[in-house]
Amino acid sequence: MLETCYHYTSNMLILLESCLLIFTGLLWSSSALSRPYYYINVSMSWPEAQSYCRSKYTDLATVDSMSDVNRLVNIVDAGYSGSVWIGLKRGTQKRWGWSNGENTTSQYYNWASGQPDQGAYCVSSYSGSWYDMPCNHLRKYRSF
């Protein structure tokens, strides 16, 4: 069902966009007439999260623009303040690419200041900014 989505902060109501929202206990879904995003409220390693997303949806979330970043930030459970996995990963040639193969040469990145810094191969998002992390860390995640 297509609805208008809103975000509440400090008694302020902000219109986000026309989208589809579904809540099923473990996940939130948002679709702005483009690719749908899902927030999975279960912690897994990056490979486990990717496997789950591929079996239930398409893959871990791919981000093409700041608009995508904002949509992803807004679907995370309001009570959760940690980082979540996205589909960006460093490949065998030390180049960053999306796990679904899209936009592997895209120049859009939203790294936090000083990132990437750990030589890690997987990427998590915290408040919209990206951090490289060891792939075996447990995080909640976003799918599309």
Query: Residue 31's beta-bridge partner residues?
Result: 20, 36
* pLDDT score recorded for residue 103: 59
Place of tokens 């975000």: 7
Query: Residue 2's beta-bridge partner residues?
Result: 20
CA distance 114 to 31: 31
Which tops the pLDDT comparison, 140 or 50?
50
Place of tokens 């999306």: 98
- Indicate if the pLDDT at residue 3 is higher than 90: no
* pLDDT score recorded for residue 91: 84
Which tops the pLDDT comparison, 83 or 6?
83
CATH label, 37-143, candidates 3.60.20.10, 3.10.100.10, 3.30.750.24, 3.20.20.70 = 3.10.100.10
DSSP state of 112: P
- Indicate if the pLDDT at residue 17 is higher than 60: no
Start-to-end CA distance of the chain, whole Å, equals 17
Contact between residue 30 and residue 37 where contact means Cβ atoms under 8 Å apart: yes
Place of tokens 């679709």: 31
Where are the domains positioned within the chain? 37-143
55-64 tens-digit pLDDT: 998 899 888 8
**Which whole number is the average pLDDT over 33-43?**
77
